[in-house]
Structure 1
Amino acid sequence: MARIMIITGGTLGDWVLEEIHHDDILVGSDRGALFLIQHGYQPHISMGDFDSVTREELALIRSSSHAFIDCDPIYKDLTDTEMAFNWALDQQPSHILLVGALGTRFDHSLANVHLLRKGLAQGIPCSILDGHNHLMVIDRTTRVERGPYTHISLLPLTLEVTGITLHGFQYPLHQATLTIGQSLGISNILQEANGLIEVSTGLLLVIQSKD
């Protein structure tokens, strides 16, 4: 199945439009659906409680989406983004890309980062992208590309991550262990077009960044 791109209600901009592939399945989560429609895209499905849009905007989202699911904003247990993410997991796509998942609400941003762990557990590659960062969670040897990013940081998402070995980085690690609370993995630099991150145990958050 094709890639699913979830556009949710965090920080969005014109950079999002450059990331849309012609064969992406576009999921609009709450105000993210409105963003798509305002930029000429018809969401394959829009879902959420839509408490961040007006009645007129909600009517536009409903009429402009191939499918539409709404819910009560009070009597629900999941965030809008997690609702969309769970739907995407059920489709068994080749990849799930979350945009608008980072923003001014740090609680929502952190919860969305944790969704990457859920995707990894189901064997579906997932990532978060904004105008300055690309995030993914890994638990095995993974190749990374430098692309437009100047820095790459590694943070443990479990109490510890062992066996971390880096190839192609300015600051090498060999069979290292990172524990929560350490900053050892912050702001490394890829010296080559590609780098290799080896992991033995644990979950490692990989953040590629540019200013």
Structure 2
Amino acid sequence: MKSRRILLFAGGNLGEWALRLIQEHDVLVGVDRGAWFLIENGHSPHLSIGDFDSVTEEEKKQIASKSLQVTDCDPVYKDLTDTEMALQWAIRQHPEEILLIGVLGTRFDHTLANVHLLEKGLQAHIPCRIIDAYNEIRLITDGVTIESGPYDHLSLLPFSQEVTGITLQGFQYPLENATLRIGDTLGISNVLIEPRGHISLATGKLLVIRSKD
């Protein structure tokens, strides 16, 4: 599985855009209602995981019959969210990349918790991205190259108390050896003006958020 991506489909905001992310050899994980989303769109999850409190009994039966593997847990006596359980499983498979899809939605507490899950991928040295119809979010501790694409804006937010040595190349508002601290908004809403841009930093953890309206 080392050469594969793992895509986690949770029960947040989903749509046709999410299906277009799937490539031929991807491993698909359905998280609670995300499993039903995959099945009703013709995909059989490699794993469906969660307490399945967001689906009907009939939908749960179909999830059980059409998934290669199912991990069902009690909705009360569990310490982790469904998404964190799915991410832990994905990390144990040692993939090249993990995409978290459908993890942003109307519940801000779940949205913020899922952004914090990017730290788990960072600790495991596995690139992780959160993607929805309007955003792509990743957490970095070193350099990253940004390719021109569907996202108009790029924002940088410190995920540690302080991020130092931030340098931007190829953006409308360049930075050179800058420092961002918790609460700073200097890194909000930049624009890529070259076919590709580069972000580097010296210390700290930096959220890189690409967005479109």
TM superposition score normalised by structure 1: 0.99
Q: Number of matched residues?
A: 211
Cross-structure match for 1:48? 50
Matched, 1:57 2:59: yes
Cross-structure match for 1:117? 119
Letter of the structure 2 residue corresponding to residue 200 of structure 1: A
Cross-structure match for 2:94? 92
Cross-structure match for 2:169? 167
Q: Secondary structure at the match of 1:5?
A: strand
1:141 is displaced (CA, Å) by 1.1
Could you list the structure 1 runs, at least 4 aligned residues long, displaced by more than 6 angstroms after superposition: none
1:70-149 mapped onto 2 (5 Å cutoff): 70-149=72-151
1:146 is displaced (CA, Å) by 2.1
Letter of the structure 2 residue corresponding to residue 60 of structure 1: Q
1:18-33 mapped onto 2 (5 Å cutoff): 18-33=20-35
Return 5+ residue gaps in structure 2 as ranges. none
Q: Secondary structure at the match of 1:200?
A: coil
Q: Secondary structure at the match of 1:206?
A: strand
Letter of the structure 2 residue corresponding to residue 20 of structure 1: I
1:152 paired residue among 151, 154, 162: 154
Partners of 1:112 and 1:62 in 2: how far apart?
A: 25
Q: Secondary structure at the match of 2:138?
A: strand
Cross-structure match for 1:5? 7
Letter of the structure 1 residue corresponding to residue 112 of structure 2: L
Q: Secondary structure at the match of 2:151?
A: coil
Q: Aligned-residue CA RMSD in angstroms?
A: 0.6
1:115 is displaced (CA, Å) by 0.9
Return 5+ residue gaps in structure 1 as ranges. none
Partners of 1:24 and 1:194 in 2: how far apart?
A: 26
Letter of the structure 1 residue corresponding to residue 152 of structure 2: T
